[in-house]
Structure 1
Amino acid sequence: MRVSVIGGSSVSDATYEQAVSVGRLFAERGHTVVCGGLGGVMRGVCEGASEAGGRTVGILPGEDTTAANEFVEVPLATGLGHARNALVVMNGDAVVAIDGGPGTLTELGFASVYDRPVAGLGTHDVPGVRQVDSPAAAVAYVEDRV
């Protein structure tokens, strides 16, 4: 399964560690992580997945693949800016949202449009997002729905 992990680009240490845990758990279960490829939650989830031997895909807002964080295995340049958020969500079978601001909120909207199951860890409380209390619960929720 491919899982889109979305969230804040500037996060606390605790939130970053949650993202690392989510990435690690998905990789240990053989899933590919798809994200926006930059910092914060995106870097954390890629770090966790990479360290556990998993695959990571970063769908970047700009035209330069070298802008991806160092844990992205497959960087995809789009030149679309925030419009790339639709592609991040569309390329996962499910979504995990960790923290996040307005960009994450747009991705949650796309998750609804594309009918993706969404687990939320400290993110926006909107319809369609199942709030969970741990990385393991987030992984279990999306695995049960795909």
Structure 2
Amino acid sequence: MTGICVFCGSRPGDDPAFAEDATTLGRAIAQEGWRVVWGAGDIGLMGTVADAAQQAGGELFGVIPQHLVDLEVGRQDAHRFVVTDNMHTRKTVMFANSDAVVALPGGPGTLDELFEVLTWRQLGLHAKPVVLLNTNGYWDPLIALLDQIVARGFADAPFLGFLTVVETPAAAMDVLRARLPAPSA
């Protein structure tokens, strides 16, 4: 089954559009017949994505480090629920069980996850699609920073092509459909 790794906040943020897009994306991934691979949290945008996917009949693959099981209210009703020893292993297991990554609004953890997969791509360790859902311009400062990183010589121009920035969940799904193999009959 095609797995879509979703990185996003364990908090809801200050804009209702964040939760709306998380709901729409979770539902769309499930309706496509793909599995949501996420940090197994049942709070914030993480919980919103999982709820939407599950309500749409989708599969959930949750990965959470032991120290966050209680803090993030680990969602143990996922089809697959993996508890790891640490955060690094969590990211590795999530990524290994995914065919693509979508990052929604989030905080430091989301940035850490996003930059790790972008770094792996820069190093030639994968060619999976990485999509940034820029809900209401949330990621605009990050996009400007990435442009500056290239402009100031800390990455080559192709680095910017490793990340596809979209404004809507529908656009994110279009990118995924175009970049992932069609399901076999």
Answer whether TM exceeds 0.5 for this pair.
Answer: yes
Q: Do structure 1's residue 30 and structure 2's residue 36 form an aligned pair?
A: no
Q: Do structure 1's residue 17 and structure 2's residue 20 form an aligned pair?
A: yes
In the alignment, which residue of structure 2 is the partner of 1:7? 8
Deviation at 1:42, TM superposition (A): 1.5
TM-score w.r.t. structure 2 length? Answer: 0.70
Distance in 1 between residues matched to 2:38 and 2:114, nearest whole Å: 13
Distance in 1 between residues matched to 2:21 and 2:94, nearest whole Å: 20
| SS of aligned partner of 1:84 | helix
| SS of aligned partner of 2:66 | coil
The alignment yields a C-alpha RMSD, in angstroms, of 2.2
Deviation at 1:72, TM superposition (A): 3.0
Larger radius of gyration: 2
CA contact (8 A) 1:95 1:142 kept: no
**Structure 1 residues without counterparts, runs of 5 or longer:** none
In the alignment, which residue of structure 2 is the partner of 1:108? 114
Q: Percent identity?
A: 33
Q: Do the aligned partners of residues 59 and 120 (structure 1) sit closer, same or farther apart at CA in structure 2, a change above 3 Å counting? A: same
Distance in 1 between residues matched to 2:88 and 2:128, nearest whole Å: 19
Q: Do the aligned partners of residues 43 and 9 (structure 1) sit closer, same or farther apart at CA in structure 2, a change above 3 Å counting? A: same
In the alignment, which residue of structure 1 is the partner of 2:164? 130
Which of 61, 77, 82 aligns to 1:76? It is 82
Distance in 1 between residues matched to 2:93 and 2:24, nearest whole Å: 24
Q: Do structure 1's residue 85 and structure 2's residue 91 form an aligned pair?
A: yes
Deviation at 1:69, TM superposition (A): 2.8
**99-108 or 67-76, which deviates more:** 67-76
Q: Do structure 1's residue 119 and structure 2's residue 131 form an aligned pair?
A: yes
TM-score w.r.t. structure 1 length? Answer: 0.87
Distance in 2 between residues matched to 1:71 and 1:25, nearest whole Å: 20
Distance in 2 between residues matched to 1:15 and 1:8, nearest whole Å: 10
Distance in 1 between residues matched to 2:171 and 2:34, nearest whole Å: 16
In the alignment, which residue of structure 1 is the partner of 2:173? 139
- Whichever structure has more helix as a proportion of its residues is 2
CA contact (8 A) 1:82 1:103 kept: no
Q: Do the aligned partners of residues 144 and 15 (structure 1) sit closer, same or farther apart at CA in structure 2, a change above 3 Å counting? A: same
CA contact (8 A) 1:120 1:129 kept: yes
Q: Do the aligned partners of residues 86 and 20 (structure 1) sit closer, same or farther apart at CA in structure 2, a change above 3 Å counting? A: same
Which of 48, 54, 58 aligns to 1:50? It is 54
